[in-house]
Amino acid sequence: MLDLKQLLSNKEEVLGRLKTRGLSVDLSKIESLDIQRRKLQQEFDQLRSEQNQANDEISRCKKEKKPADAVMARMKGLAGRLKEIGPKQAEMEQQLKNELLLIPNLPHASVPVGTFAENNKVVRTWGEKPKLSFSAKEHWDLGEKLGVLDFDRAGKMAGTRFTVLKGGAARLERSLINFMLDLHTQKHGYQEIFPPLLVNANAMLGTGQLPKFEADLFKTTDGRYLIPTAEVPLTNLFQEEILKEEDLPILLTAYTPCFRAEAGAAGKDTKGLLRQHQFNKVELVKFAHPDHSYEALETLTQNAETVLQQLGLHYRVVALCTGDIGFSSAKTYDMEVWLPGQNAYREISSCSNCEDFQARRANIRFKDKAGKNRFVHTLNGSGLAVGRTLIAIFEQYQLSDGSIQIPEVLRPYFGSDRLT
């Protein structure tokens, strides 16, 4: 959520930065609500002042044994008006908050300006595309022929966009999860968390999934939501708390299943594991000091890249343009891994700095050295999406006989050098 004071005092700048996202935002309703709210607050403060003066006057009357009927009557009127103003103030504050919750974060000055994915900028590339002496197959063909990916049986029990992983694929998925968690906790300094997979609406609001993206979520009959990413429970771990400055940065990682309705993806990536309703992911979240959050973003991105490098997977890092960054993000790097079977790069991780956007919504602050409470900056990234990493291994490490070579770093987890 944007700072209301910043929004209204730097209106032209804010509108200009939102325009780079491809958005035209009308602030007139917010301005009107803010004016009404300020008037009510002024009246409330004035009535409180008059109420205090009347109290003093009543005390004097009692001390001097003079009648105070007129003052008491005025006090009753003041109290009645204050009682009316209270609910109106609360309603006005909520309306104002509801409007602010629909406005996305402002892009950082370093984000490439553009409306479409074509305006994204390749920052760096690691490794080389594997040179195969045969025609590359897609992961779903490889998995079905090996008997380790079963789309038909998953469809019978759950419908489309679900997959049963069997045998070597299930073991490879588990191996990847353990490898990623060990790397991030033992080498990168993250604390492992295993959070709830169901959260309340307030948690979803805190990270920006609600109210705008409810159609993308799975909601239970009691009003809770299945998490679309571990970013939600990890970021909300400190909601409504004041952290110590000396504890920053705080680094958290979690493996969780993730659940997405994929409401806007009809007919898109329907084959294979790329876009599933349920998938596994290892998430990275940081709570950083505002002065150091962009250094933290670079480190977070490097942590995710290390997974790909140790697996020997060719990929590139892309800085997303203003029109392609997520709702809560101020700056995002995507890691795109090469898939020979599809002859294309596909996203395997997004690493974002949300600055204080989520912290304002979830009210996560820290006390600085001067004793002032300030909002932290929150960052998140996939480290990595496990199913997409499995896809990349299938396609980059496929052999001519249809088997899959296992990256060397995974062999102690997997127990073999080949999936057959």
Is residue 282 within 8 Å of residue 180, measured between CB atoms? yes
Please, are residues 282 and 181 in contact by the beta-carbon 8 Å criterion? Answer: yes
User: Does 37 qualify as catalytic in the annotation?
Assistant: no
Respond yes or no: is residue 388 known to be catalytic.
yes
Q: Please give the structure tokens belonging to residue 409.
A: 């770093």
Catalytic residue of the set 275, 316, 374, 411 = 275
Q: Is 275 a catalytic residue?
A: yes
Separation CA 398–CA 243 (nearest Å): 48
Nearest to 120 by CA among 316, 358, 296, 388: 316
What whole-number distance in Å separates Cα of residue 404 and Cα of residue 279?
21
Q: Of 293, 329, 349, 350, which residue is the catalytic one?
A: 350
List the catalytic residue out of 17, 161, 360, 388: 388
350 catalytically annotated = yes
| Catalytic position from the list 260, 346, 361, 365 | 260
Confirm whether 403 is a catalytic residue: no
Q: Which of 99, 214, 262, 347 is the catalytic position?
A: 347
CA–CA gap between residue 310 and residue 302 (Å, rounded): 12
Catalytic residue IDs? 260, 275, 347, 350, 388
